[in-house]
């Protein structure tokens, strides 16, 4: 009995030992798997840094998985389109302080990621290199323009800034020519409130001057048109009077011709003019000339003679 008990106890210890060993290896492989397999996302790259050998691997581009030893560090680097926005204080040539708001975009050349990491192990190249270059370059360019010129020639200033910044970034040794597809957007140029107010007042004054000039021109055009109208009307009236006078003259001549030399031509002419005047005053009245002296008699149009 004692012997059987010892055998059962020895077998139990062996089973426990085997289970412990299996559990150890299971835990080891699970932990090793979690540490050794590193997922790499889209647009990301991983460089493996080995502190024992002091080496850095070439970048492993996602989407994929990277296999590493437990003591190796996997450094994730985003190489797709990245951005950096900053507001840079600068001065114009007339010593006015401006706030230049810029947004830059770029991508990293996968073939240069390793060199960039070696130069910037903390991946702080944005603040250390890009921001510094932007500030220095923009300040050098804006000092060549007055504040007003930066408004009038904004596109020229933007193009010069972009070209100069690109050149500086390409020639900066620490960046290892890793930046590609670089774009710069000069979003805004901010001016002091007093200067902005002065510019707005100037623009308002210019608009008012343009409006005043327009009103002046409009008044001159209307006045000229009115004068031309009066001239035309006066000419027409004068011509009408000439025509009327000629017609009256011809009518009198015809009347005198019909009377002949025996009649009182002066009296007849006077009577004709009287009749013409009375007809203009009272066109509805009939006029008869009676008697030897040609006395005019006025008869209303609706009345009948006895």
Q: What is the pLDDT of residues 217-267, one digit of tens each?
A: 777 777 677 767 766 766 666 666 656 656 665 655 555 555 555 555 565
Q: Can you tell me the distance from the alpha carbon of 196 to that of 228, in angstroms, rounded to the nearest whole number?
A: 48
Task: Select, from the ranges 93-97, 104-108, 146-150, 183-187, the one with the highest average predicted confidence (pLDDT).
Answer: 104-108
Distance of CA 218 to the CA centre of its chain: 31
pLDDT of residue 161: 84
Are the CB atoms for 189 and 151 separated by under 8 Å? yes
Where would I find the H helices in 143-264?
147-152, 154-171, 193-259
Handedness of CA 254, 258, 262, 267 (dihedral sign): negative
Q: Can you tell me the distance from the alpha carbon of 80 to that of 108, in angstroms, rounded to the nearest whole number?
A: 7
Rounded to whole angstroms, what are the CA distances from 54 to 47, 48, 73, 114, 250? Answer: 13, 10, 11, 14, 129
pLDDT of residue 182: 82
Tell me which of 195 and 77 has the higher pLDDT. 77
pLDDT of residue 128: 87
- The model's pLDDT over 32-76, given as tens digits with 9 standing for 90+, comes to 555 678 899 999 999 999 988 889 999 999 899 988 888 888 999
- The model's pLDDT over 151-203, given as tens digits with 9 standing for 90+, comes to 888 888 888 888 888 888 888 899 888 988 888 888 888 887 776 666 656 66
Q: What is the DSSP string of 56-108?
A: EPPPEESSEEEE--TTSEEEEEE-SSEEEEEEEEEE-TT--EEEEEEEEEEEE
pLDDT of residue 305: 45
Q: Can you tell me the distance from the alpha carbon of 196 to that of 302, in angstroms, rounded to the nearest whole number?
A: 84
Percent of the chain with pLDDT over 70: 57
Q: Return phi, psi of residue 259, to 5°.
A: -75, -40
Whole-number average pLDDT of the chain: 75
pTM greater than 0.75 (yes/no)? no
């Amino acid at each position: 009995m004692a012997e059987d008990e010892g055998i059962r106890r020895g077998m139990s210890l062996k089973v426990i030992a085997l289970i412990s060993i299996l559990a150890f290896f299971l835990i080891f492989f699970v932990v090793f798997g979690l540490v050794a397999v590193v997922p790499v996302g889209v647009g990301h790259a991983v460089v493996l840094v080995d502190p024992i050998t002091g080496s850095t691997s070439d970048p492993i581009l996602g989407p994929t998985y990277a296999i590493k030893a437990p003591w190796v560090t996997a450094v994730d680097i985003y190489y797709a389109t990245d951005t950096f926005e900053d507001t840079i204080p600068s001065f114009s040539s007339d010593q006015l302080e401006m706030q230049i708001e810029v947004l830059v975009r770029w991508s990293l050349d996968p073939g240069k990621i390793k060199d960039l990491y070696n130069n910037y192990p903390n991946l702080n190249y944005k603040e250390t290199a890009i921001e510094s270059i932007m500030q220095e370059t923009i300040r050098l360019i804006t000092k060549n323009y007055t504040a007003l010129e930066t408004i009038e020639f904004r596109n020229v200033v933007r193009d010069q800034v972009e070209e100069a910044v690109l050149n500086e970034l390409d020639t900066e040794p620490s960046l290892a020519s890793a930046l590609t597809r670089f774009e710069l957007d000069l979003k805004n140029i901010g001016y002091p409130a007093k200067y902005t107010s002065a510019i707005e007042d100037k623009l308002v004054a210019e608009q008012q001057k343009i409006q005043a000039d327009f009103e002046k021109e409009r008044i001159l055009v209307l006045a000229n048109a009115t004068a031309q109208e009066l001239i035309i009307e006066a000419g027409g009236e004068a011509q009408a009077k000439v025509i009327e006078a000629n017609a009256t003259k011809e009518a009198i001549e015809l009347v005198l011709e019909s009377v002949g030399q025996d009649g009182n031509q002066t009296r007849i002419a006077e009577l004709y003019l009287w009749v013409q005047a009375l007809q203009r005053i009272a066109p509805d009245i009939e006029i008869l000339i009676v008697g030897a002296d040609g006395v005019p008699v006025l008869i209303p149009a609706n009345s009948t003679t006895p």
